[in-house]
């Protein structure tokens, strides 16, 4: 089957009115990725070399987004919504290229996995003309039933047309199917619209193929794989299922999740073995964590690279471009953005490091900030190896602190500090004996007078 060519036709033209959103339904995200992109990834993993997206509502936005996750995909617009077969035929130009297999999928089924699609393709390789993917929902009410005889699929019966015996069938239509490319257009063109809605139904090709003596079979996927998204509640349900799968996979690969149900991954999170993740950690897109790292509770991480044996959090925020090298530490209530924290460097508490390099072994004191933005442009701060930045220091970029440089606490640094130099950048302290008592008495007297005046006014 590996040598068979495959086209995936993904139907993504629905308006999704029940989502109550201006955004096309299939662009709503699961794990930080549009749900239609999950479908594309599953198709590609099942061997699809071509992707045809049938779009409608929000076509321009769909094309723009599709260019990011499926740059080679062809898009076809379904101008009028006249049924599922009509939608597939919109991709006639792609289907006619002569693929061996054609997978028909829906952009709102983000949990479909490659194995379910590969199983349907395998049936085509074995000689079937059509392989319909079915599933067994907890309650089959409302779903079309798959009617089988002697191991062959003879019909897909909508519930309103089912006999009482057929209504008891628990094997239902998931909507997705694989069709042999040699028969696809002939079967689709034979679909009529003589029904109450005057629409062209993809399910009709089952009986059409059977009438032509072609082999039609059903394969089975799990209920979760077939879950379609129609509203925000179902979107949340799909997100929960996806997260549960990913957490399980992470733990089996050697990652410790102390409270798995509180950790959220993105579609592309990479996390190494022997990493420990404490409760309530959120991984946004673009995160890579090497082995042996420790991510403490309530940390928020996106677009960041964390090397082996790093220590992050609790309550740390790593923004895009954060690059922590081996054994680096970013502690509680620290934010790092577009900055390299080199090997063994420590950014321990209450600190902002942006557009910067913190050299190996450097220590950044509590309350330090890199002042990297003047309202118009960003500027770079370079902190050398082994530098010590005292607490509550402001490093006004562009500025360089040399290797071994020492910045006194409370300093505002605006000029280069040479290697091993000590820099002060603060006002000189002045102490006036007894002045504190005098001020307290003056302020207390003023407050009492103000209170007395307020009482007199009433």
What residues have CB less than 8 Å from 213, skipping those under 6 apart? none
Q: How many Cα atoms sit within 13 Å of 106 on the Cβ side?
A: 22
List Cα–Cα distances, 358 to 142, 350, 354, 387, 405, in angstroms.
Answer: 60, 16, 10, 9, 12
Evaluate the CA torsion angle 212, 213, 214, 220 in order and state its sign.
positive
Here the tokens at position 76 are 């076809």
Name 29's bridge partners. 34
Peptide bond into 355 cis (omega under 30): no
- 439 C-beta neighbours (distance < 10 Å), count: 11
Provide the annotated active-site residues.
349
Is the separation of the CB atoms in 269 and 247 below 8 Å? Answer: no
Here the tokens at position 364 are 């950044």
Can you tell me the distance from the alpha carbon of 290 to that of 145, in angstroms, rounded to the nearest whole number? 48
Here the tokens at position 202 are 């993809």
Which letter does DSSP use for residue 429 in this model? P
E-assigned strand segments in 207-342? 216-220, 256-257, 270-271, 276-277, 282-283, 288-289, 294-295, 300-301, 305-306, 311-312, 317-318, 323-324, 329-332, 335-341
What residues have CB less than 8 Å from 457, skipping those under 6 apart? none
Is the separation of the CB atoms in 49 and 85 below 8 Å? Answer: no
């Amino acid at each position: 089957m590996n040598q068979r060519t495959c086209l995936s036709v993904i139907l993504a033209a629905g308006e999704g009115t029940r989502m109550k959103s201006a955004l096309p339904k299939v662009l709503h995200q699961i794990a930080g990725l549009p749900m239609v992109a999950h479908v594309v990834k599953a198709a590609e993993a099942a061997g699809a070399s071509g992707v045809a997206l049938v779009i409608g509502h929000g076509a321009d936005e769909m094309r723009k987004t599709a260019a990011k996750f499926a740059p080679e995909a062809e898009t076809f617009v379904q101008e009028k919504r006249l049924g599922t077969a009509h939608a597939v035929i919109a991709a006639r130009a792609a289907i006619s290229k002569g693929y061996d297999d054609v997978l028909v999928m829906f952009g709102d089924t983000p949990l479909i996995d490659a194995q379910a699609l590969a199983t349907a393709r395998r049936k085509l390789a074995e000689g079937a003309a059509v392989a319909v993917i079915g599933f067994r929902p907890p309650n089959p009410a409302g779903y079309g039933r798959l009617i089988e005889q002697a191991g062959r699929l003879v019909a897909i019966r909508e519930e309103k047309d089912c006999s009482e015996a057929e209504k008891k069938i628990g094997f239902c239509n998931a909507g997705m199917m694989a069709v042999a490319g040699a028969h696809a257009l002939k079967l689709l063109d034979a679909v009529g619209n003589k029904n109450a809605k005057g629409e062209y139904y993809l399910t009709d090709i089952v009986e059409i193929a059977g009438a032509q003596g072609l082999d039609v079979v059903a394969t089975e996927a799990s209920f979760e794989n077939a879950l379609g998204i129609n509203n925000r509640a179902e979107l949340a349900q799909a997100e929960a299922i996806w997260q549960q799968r990913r957490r399980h996979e992470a733990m089996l690969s050697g990652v410790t999740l102390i409270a798995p149900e509180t950790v959220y991954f993105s579609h592309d999170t990479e996390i190494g073995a022997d990493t420990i993740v404490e409760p309530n950690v959120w991984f946004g897109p673009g995160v890579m964590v090497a082995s042996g790292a420790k991510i403490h509770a309530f940390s928020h991480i996106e677009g960041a690279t964390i090397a082996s044996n790093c220590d992050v959090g609790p309550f740390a925020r790593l923004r895009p471009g954060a690059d922590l090298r081996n054994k680096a530490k970013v502690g509680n209530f620290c934010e790092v953005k577009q900055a390299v924290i080199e090997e063994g460097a420590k950014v321990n508490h209450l600190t902002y490091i942006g557009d910067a390099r913190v050299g190996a072994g450097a220590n950044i004191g509590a309350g330090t900030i890199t002042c990297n933005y003047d309202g118009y442009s960003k500027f770079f701060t370079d902190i050398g190896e082994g530098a010590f930045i005292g607490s509550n220091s402001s490093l006004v970029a562009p500025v360089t602190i040399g290797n071994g440089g020492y910045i006194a606490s409370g300093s505002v640094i605006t000029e280069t500090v040479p290697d091993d130099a000590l820099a002060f950048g603060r006002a000189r302290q002045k102490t006036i004996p007894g002045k504190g008592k005098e001020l307290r008495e003056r302020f207390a007297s003023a407050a009492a007078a103000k209170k007395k005046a307020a009482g007199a006014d009433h």
